[in-house]
A = this chain, B = another copy of it.
């Protein structure tokens, strides 16, 4: 199903340490998220996984995504749609611009959590688990095309 890479053993380790089993379907989903360069939704992950392993079920994809989120190996992104997107946990904090015209997702890094802690009084005593900025608008290309 999926043979191996540098990342694979460390993934197996992480799962096993958490009392989880390292299955081929989980390896496949992880691989697709990593190769997909983030921002895939559950169904897209499912479709791509299916090309490689046609017996895989959508429930397994969902269950795996849950688990990976739980283990902090993926982030779940919310683009204001009614489904989520997933990306491999990135090294540095970054956020996303989503173009309402073409759907393109542009990443930018911005250490929001740090700024918030400094700048926002309501933040005192609040223990941050997860911060997400999302910006919707029109990218360069689409903006040009549309004004007129």
A residues near B (Cβ < 8 Å) are: 76, 78, 80, 82, 97, 99-100, 106-108, 110, 112, 115-116, 119-123, 125-140, 143
- Closest CB-CB distance, A50 to chain B, in whole Å? 23
Q: Are A131 and B135 in contact (CB under 8 A)?
A: yes
Chain B residue nearest in CB terms to A133 = B133
Distance of A148 from chain B, by nearest CB (Å): 14
Min CB gap A72→B, angstroms: 13
A137 contacts across to B, CB distance below 8 A:
126-130
Question: What chain B residues lie within 8 Å of A97 (beta carbons)?
Answer: 122-123, 126
A80-B78, A125-B143 given as contacts; is B131 within 8 A of A120 (CB)?
A: no
CA distance A126 to B107 in the complex (A): 12
- A130 adjacent to B135 (CB under 8 Å): yes
Please pick, from B126, B133, B140, the residue contacting A131 in the complex, using a CB distance under 8 A.
Answer: B133
* CB-defined contacts of A100 to chain B, threshold 8 Å: 129
